Amino acid sequence: MFRNVMVPLDGSSFAEHALPLARAIARRCAATLHLVAVVPPLAEAYTEGVFFGTADLEAEVVTRQKGYLARARKQLGGEIEVATTVLEGEVAACLCNHAEEVGADLVVMSTHGRGPLARFWLGSVADEVVRSARLPILLVRPEEGPVDLTADPLPLRVMVPLDGTELAERILEPAINLTEMIPNVEIILLRVIKPVTPVAPLPEGAGVGVEASYLLHEVEVVQEGLVRDAETYLREKAELLRARGIKAEVRVAVDDLVEEAILHEADKANAGLIALETHGRGGLSRLVLGSVTDKVVRGTHVPVLVQRPVTV
């Protein structure tokens, strides 16, 4: 169960699209919602027709951001406890440090933003936070139009891709923490395996048809065995979830493109959220932001929960 949920904001409606989901989570968990804005170091700048010195501009931006966060806090209403903080410094580092200082156990942030500080929020900050933070990050893709703070966009189905390793399985606990307060939620465990291809060339000569049929049969046998092994592995994990009172389903996909399989299966399952670890091995070995995770985040319209595995 989450106790402190942090939401980075930059003054734009795009960044604010993280608020409805963050508010819904905080309300269900009775958690404190921490709204954070960061004012990065500014050189001599030109703003609204006037040149400001560095100190003047930074003071002006800090004042504006404090007022902006105060208004955001008021709009969220009194159902949840809301704390606001304006920091100064390098954006991603400030966010990661503040998350540790307040004991945040979840960060909810939009993957894009606009406004006076837009260039700091166009994916690079989310990327760096995911790479550096030692806690789960829930990435929300912003939509056009105003933010509906009355919405309760909690998912009813959550897809969790696994690759058979303990590292990839570490996303399960954050996914459970996120979903355990949602009635009738279901976790869908997915494993993507590669298609089996023949390692030897087909022979030449009169018996090509027979040899080819035999080779194709052998490939099918191996592929079916891999699918059965994947299903067995997922069923074992699903039983552990069911023992905790969580509904669970298992799916196996055969595809060369892991990210495409994840997106396709999530759409088929009508998943409202995808949760995955940012590093793994085997079929998910390229799960780093900028690769499979990045393609999943960019390719889906649903939130994506990611976590960088921390090795002791």
Q: What is the pLDDT of residue 206?
A: 47
- Domain range holding 288? 157-307
Q: What is the pLDDT of residue 203?
A: 58
Among 109, 111, 119, CA closest to 141? 111
The token pair that represents 286 in the structure block: 């390229």
Q: What is the pLDDT of residue 119?
A: 40
Q: How far apart are CA 295 and CA 312, in angstroms?
A: 29
pLDDT along the chain (312 residues), means of 10: 94 90 94 94 53 69 93 91 95 94 95 49 70 90 82 92 90 92 93 80 56 71 91 97 95 93 96 85 44 80 86 52
Residue 294 sits in a domain whose CATH number is: 3.40.50.620
Q: Are residues 55 and 130 in the same domain?
A: yes
Q: Where are the alpha helices (DSSP H) in 190-257?
A: 208-243
Q: Are residues 26 and 107 in the same domain?
A: yes
Q: Are residues 101 and 185 in the same domain?
A: no
Q: How many domains does the structure of the chain reveal?
A: 2
Report yes or no on 149 lying in a domain.
no
Q: How far apart are CA 214 and CA 202, in angstroms?
A: 10
Q: pTM for this structure?
A: 0.84
Q: How far apart are CA 289 and CA 307, in angstroms?
A: 10
Q: Where are the alpha helices (DSSP H) in the chain?
A: 13-16, 19-29, 54-75, 91-101, 124-132, 166-169, 172-179, 208-243, 258-268, 292-299
Q: Is residue 254 exposed (0-12), middle (13-18) or buried (19+ Cβ within 10 Å)?
A: middle
The token pair that represents 211 in the structure block: 């040899």
Q: What is the pLDDT of residue 288?
A: 44
- β-pairing verdict for 273-277 and 106-110: unpaired
Report yes or no on 147 lying in a domain.
no
Q: Are residues 163 and 275 in the same domain?
A: yes
Q: What is the pLDDT of residue 16?
A: 92
The token pair that represents 210 in the structure block: 């027979």
Amino acid residing at 172: L
Q: What is the pLDDT of residue 171?
A: 93
Q: Are residues 162 and 133 in the same domain?
A: no
Using an 8 Å Cβ cutoff, are 264 and 188 in contact? no
Q: Are residues 202 and 68 in the same domain?
A: no
Q: What is the pLDDT of residue 27?
A: 93
Q: Are residues 102 and 234 in the same domain?
A: no
